[in-house]
Each structure stands twice: as C-alpha cells, then as structure tokens.
Chain A
Amino acid sequence: MSAGLTRRELLRLACIGSAAAAVAPVETATAAVHSEKPQAAPGAVGMLYDATVCTGCKACMAACNQVNELPADSAGSGGLYHAPLDLNSKTKNIIKLYQAPNAGKWSFVKRQCMHCLDPACVSGCPFEALSKDPEKGVVRWDGSRCIGCRYCEIACPFQIPKFEWDKWNPRIVKCEFCITQRLEKGEQPGCTGACPTGAVIFGKRDALLAEAKRRIAASPGKYFENRVYGEKDAGGTQVFYLAAVPFKDLGLPELGTDSIPYYATKVNAKLYKWLSGPLVLYGILALAVNRNWKHHRHEQEQHEAKGGLPEQL
C-alpha cells in the first residue's frame, strides 16, 4: 500500500517536473522585470540629430556603407549611385526629405536604429539573438541564436530591423552603432564621424541630452514643442531628435512615455513569476482530472464486468 503511494507520489512529482521543464523559462526568477520608465546604463552612448542643421548631403550614408561593408542600393537612382528608397537589408542609415503638402515647411530626417532603453525587439526575441549591451546600451544581433522568426520586425515601433528576404541564410540587418568596428576601438560611429555640419553628433547619452536642452533654451520656439524626441518616448531611446517640424511628419511616431515591453509583459510577468501560475493551475487541473478519472474508470470497470465492450479512451 505504502509502496503504491510513494510510487504515485514519485509519478506526480515527475509529471509536475516534466510539465514545468517543458513549459517555461527556467530563468524567470533571475530576469529583470520591465519597468514603466526604464533607466539608461551609466555608460550609455548616444546620437543627437538636429534636423535644422542637416543639409541632406548624405555623407553619413556613404560612411555607414563603408564602415559596415554594405553594398550600394541604387533603387532610387536607376542604377547610377547609392540611393535607397528606405531602410532595408542593405541600408542601415538613411537621410529622407519631408515636404509639407502645401510646400511651406520641409525638413531632412536621418533614420537608423533608436537603441531604445527598453527595446521591444529585444523583449520579443525568443532566444535572445537581439540583446542590449549592458555597458553602452547598444542593441546588437547574434546570428548564432537567431531563428529568423522576424518577431523583432513585428515588435519594433520604429520599423527598424530588416530581414534579408533574398538570402537563403538571412540575417537581421540594422544599425549597431558600429560597435565592433568603431566603439570598441574607442572611435565614433561612421555616420557621426562623417557629418560635415555637425547635424548628427556622438557622445554619452546624458551629455547629449543636456546639449539638446541647451539648444532648445538658446532658441525658444525654434524647435517643435521645445522637446527632445527620444528623451522619454517609448520609455526613452539613445538617439535624440531635434526638429522644426512635427516629429510625426518625419516618421517618428508618438508612442507615449511608457516602455512598450512593460505594457506587453506586466500581466504575464506576475502570472509566470517563478512559474507559480502554471504550477498552481497544473495542480488544480491534475486534482480535478484525477477525481473524474477515478470516477470514469470505476464506471468503465463495472461496465466491463457486466460483459460490456472494452473501454475506449
């Protein structure tokens, strides 16, 4: 009798154990929970782009291609020179022109990865192929982990990660702040180094934020909403924008000030903490099923004893 009990206990434990192992991440205990207002790493690098200074010369695009060894994309020039239509798997950095429909206002805008403080792409990536560098805060991609599911593209509010649709072994392509080619050698990224007018500058995130606010204070009314885009947007980014036209017109969406991963995980983080939710639910289900199972088996055995046909599970 007792042997049967212990065997049953063992079985129960084995089932719970295997269910738990099959079900959810072991590291839920250690993983940091997303906060509503994420903090920048102390050594976070940044970029400040001031659209009112940019002349649209595209030197940064050429430099980006050079440093990242990217091919020219001549889609917009009929094969003559590097003129991509948008960020794509060959283009990590692009200068676009915005013109208001009534030809009043116009502005250039530089687009590349924003290196969010709490990136949606990193939060969604199932095997951590996308990760945020803990020291500099750069969002990087690791090909040995990526399964090519493209959830990063579904998640990114800025539509930054690009997928190599024309390759059999596709990579996710996006700006990585030239971290291996430049930052780790103590140099600045290709684009900021090439900019002749200082429209885009490189530095520590907090220093750049102070500089952006200094510019706003120096010429009140010059900049849209007297605000730095990226200071708080979507929880904050490491790329800042100053512009004279609405950010929305430059393709920078109004995302509010909360981190998107916080919104996406706040309920589940509680339910799945320490796997408590699934384990408790499994316990309840197992108790209920077991009770009904005994009842069901009892009925079947009676039925079979009366000469009925064997049970069909």
Chain B
Amino acid sequence: MSNPWQRLVPVYNKETHSRSFWIFGAITVLGFVLAGLRMVSPLGRYSGMNDAYAWGVWKIFNVMTLTAIGSGSLAVGLAAWVFGNEKLHIAMRTALVTSFLFYFTGMMALIVDVGRPWNFWQIILPWRWNGHSALLEVAVCMPAYAFLFLLFENVPLVLERFSYTGSDRVKGAIKRFDPVMKKVYPFVVAGAYLLPLMHQSSLGGLMLLSGPKVHPLWQSQVLPLLYVLAACICGFAFVNWTLLFTCYRYRRPISIEVVSEIGSLMSWVTFAWLVIRISDILIRGQVHAVLAFDRYSFLFLTETLLMAIPAILLRFKSKRETPRTLVTCSALAGLGGLLYRFTPTAFAFTPAKSYSYFPTLPEVLMTIGFISFGILTWRIAVRYFAILPGTNEEWHENNWEPLFVSLRSRFHKKPQGAPTWQE
C-alpha cells in the first residue's frame, strides 16, 4: 500500500483497563486530591517556592515548558493550513488533541499556583490590563487560545462521531451546524495561529524583565523569538513522536511520507533556531561564556547538541525515512527544546545567593498528576473519536465505542463487527 494513512480511525478492540491505565489513574487522582487541598490552604505548605524562586515547577514546567510540546497545533497547523502542505492534514487531529490537553493541564497548574485566583475574573475588564506586561499577554492569550480556539478546532472530531452515533435530532442539528462552522473555520483557524505566536513569544518575554538574574547565555532580546521557534520545534517533535509511538502501540502501519515530512520541517526550523541562537551569542560577545566549561556552558552545549544532532541527521533522506531514527530524533529535538525553555527559568535563573529551590513531593506529585490526566484523557480520546490515522479498510462507521456503559459490562464487552488486528 502506497499510503497507509488515508483516514482517521478510532482505536478498536483495545482493553481500556490495562494495568498502566490504573497506574496513570491513581497518579491523576492523587494529584487532583493534592490540588484540591492546596486550593484551601497556604501555598507554602505544598511547595518549595520562596521569595527569590517565586515560580516553581507548576509555572516553569507545566506552563512555560510543557506548552511548548503542546504547540503541535501551531507548528503542524501553520505548515498544513498557512503553507498549504496538504500531506499534513492527517496529523492535525493528533496535534489538536494533544495541544489542548497540554494547555488544559497547564491552565490547571496555573490556577493551583497563583495565590489569589479569585481575582482572576478581572481578565474580562480590559481597562484593568497592564499593556506593558508580558504576563498579561500570557494570562489573556493562553486561556483564550485553549478554551476558545483550540476547543473550537477540536469540535469537528466530536461532531463527526455524533453524526454517526447521535439520535436523529442530534444528527439534524449537526447537519445544520456544519455549513456554519465551515464558513467561520478558516477565520478562526487564522486566530488559532496568531494567538500562540503571540503568547509563546511572550513566555520568553517574561524573562526579559528579570534582567541580570538570568545568565547572559540566555538573557537576550531574542528570547521571545527563540521561545516561539522552540515551541514549533517541540510541537513538530511531539506530534511526530506521538504518531510513531501510538501507531506502533496500536499496531498500525506508518506513513513514512508524512512522518518524514514532519521530520524534515522540524529540522529546518531547528536550523533556523540554531542560526539565530548562535548569531545572538556572537553579537552579544558571549563566546567566552560558552567556553567557560562551567555548569552554564555545559547546559548550553547540551541543549545545542540536542538540537543540532537531529537537525543534521534528518537532512539525510535515508535517516528521515527510518521510523526508529525519526523517533529518536524527535525525542532529542523535543528534549533540546524543552531544556532551552526550562533553563532560563530554572538552572540559569539565579536571583539570590542565599536562596535555593527544589520542588517538594506534593509539588512534584501535582505536576505528574496533571500530566497523567493528559495521558489518560488522550488514551480514552483515541478510542471514542477518530484521531489516529489508519487505512480506509480499518474504518467501520458503525463501530464506535459506546459512550455511557456501566463499568462492569466494560470489562466483559467485546465489540462486534470489527476485524481484530491478528486477522
């Protein structure tokens, strides 16, 4: 078969309640319980933060770092819809669902992190906004993107399902709503690229105000640009990694054509990032800091290598078309991007000598709990909705996972009519 990704197909015949499902479930519940407790008690009790390191892992990891790998919708979307790369439409739903989950869990972490969340309602009063604040831009833009734009982009895959399994009234409503949605779709989607371009760069802009507290290898006027490019790199990397990993896991054939295309785009963006990064170091005269061989230069070299190796490897066609190499390269570039996004807020952030920060156990458990929630939701979503690519032959329009089934029957249910993979 020339292209095994002709259609998006739900995952059939998978046991939901595998052991890992329960493990992720337990971590999620633990994280949520702790989050609930934190909401009714002082921050100091649940985190290792202090007045110098006033931002902990919730903000610098769940929000500022993980939304970079939640930028798949931005990266793949720009390539598919703005640059007209038709091949990549098949990867869009994977990008959209994972992006939404990363942003959603990031927003949860943000609510847990802020000290006075009840004052957040001011977001609807523009005359109270501080137009100079990068954080205002993030605070307005991120929730707007997650809950208006990303949610809207994820509507079609929900409607699709109910156009098959809904009652006649629901089907009729969807038929009426469909043309309306198709009319506004391109204009909303354009906004769905504008917003993350703005707030992903503003996340880098946040650290400009810390001035000398951020090590000169990272403190630079190009932080915003590098942050948004790193988000695109991480977005491509994560979508590619997810496609490869889940297709392997659910034993679906892989479309080399699509994943190598994403790998190639990722490599070009990484080259752009490297050129800007290194030029900036040269222009600001920080070569001596690179060659100091202290922890900072080591960090810099690590992140640069993590970026450069996959970028170079993926320029070779043979490497691009080997799934194993693609998985490795995506992981490396993704890690490089994450490290670059994490370092200015953590390792290279030195506010005061007499203070130090390390997350406490509850803090880490909440962080992991939010991520687990994302993984769990993803695993459920690929079964209820058509998200992962497959072949036309695999598609059975009458074989949707029922939505509301009692848990007990869940364990003994065997879906009818669909072929199993072993056949």
Tell me the A residues contacting B by CB distance below 8 Å.
Answer: 8, 11-12, 15, 18-19, 21-28, 31, 34, 86, 88-89, 120, 123-128, 143-151, 153-155, 157, 159, 161-170, 253, 255, 260-261, 263-269, 272, 278, 281-282, 285-286, 288-293, 295-297, 299, 309-310, 312-313
Contact = CB atoms under 8 A, between A and B. Distances in A.
B133 A125 contact: yes
B119 A11 contact: no
B210 A155 contact: yes
Contacts of A269: 132
Given A27-B129, A145-B122, A155-B209, A267 B93 contact: no
Interface string B389-422: 0001001000000000000000000000000000
A272 B184 CA distance: 26
Interface in B167-199: 182-191, 193-195, 197-198
6 contacts: A23-B194, A124-B206, A153-B51, A272-B131, A312-B160, A313-B157
Interface of B: 7-8, 40-45, 49-52, 54-55, 80-84, 86, 89, 92-93, 113-117, 119-120, 122, 126-137, 139-141, 144, 148, 156-157, 160, 182-191, 193-195, 197-198, 202, 205-206, 208-213, 221, 224, 351-352, 354, 386, 392, 395
A163 B194 contact: no
Contact of A166 (B44, B182, B212): B44
A190 B285 CA distance: 47
Given A88-B51, A145-B128, A150-B115, A23 B43 contact: no
B155 to A, nearest CB: 9
Contact of B7 (A26, A143, A312): A312
Please provide the 7 A-B residue pairs with the shortest distance between their CB atoms, ordered closest to farther.
A148-B115, A165-B44, A25-B131, A153-B54, A264-B208, A148-B116, A126-B136
A313 B156 contact: yes
A11 B324 CA distance: 46
A151 B206 contact: yes
B130 A128 contact: yes
B202 to A, nearest CB: 8
Contacts of B160: 310, 312
A15 B126 contact: no
A150 B55 contact: yes
B208 A296 contact: no
A263 B186 CA distance: 37
Contacts of A147: 114-117, 119-120, 122, 139
B89 to A, nearest CB: 7
Contact of B185 (A89, A291, A313): A313
B212 A11 contact: no
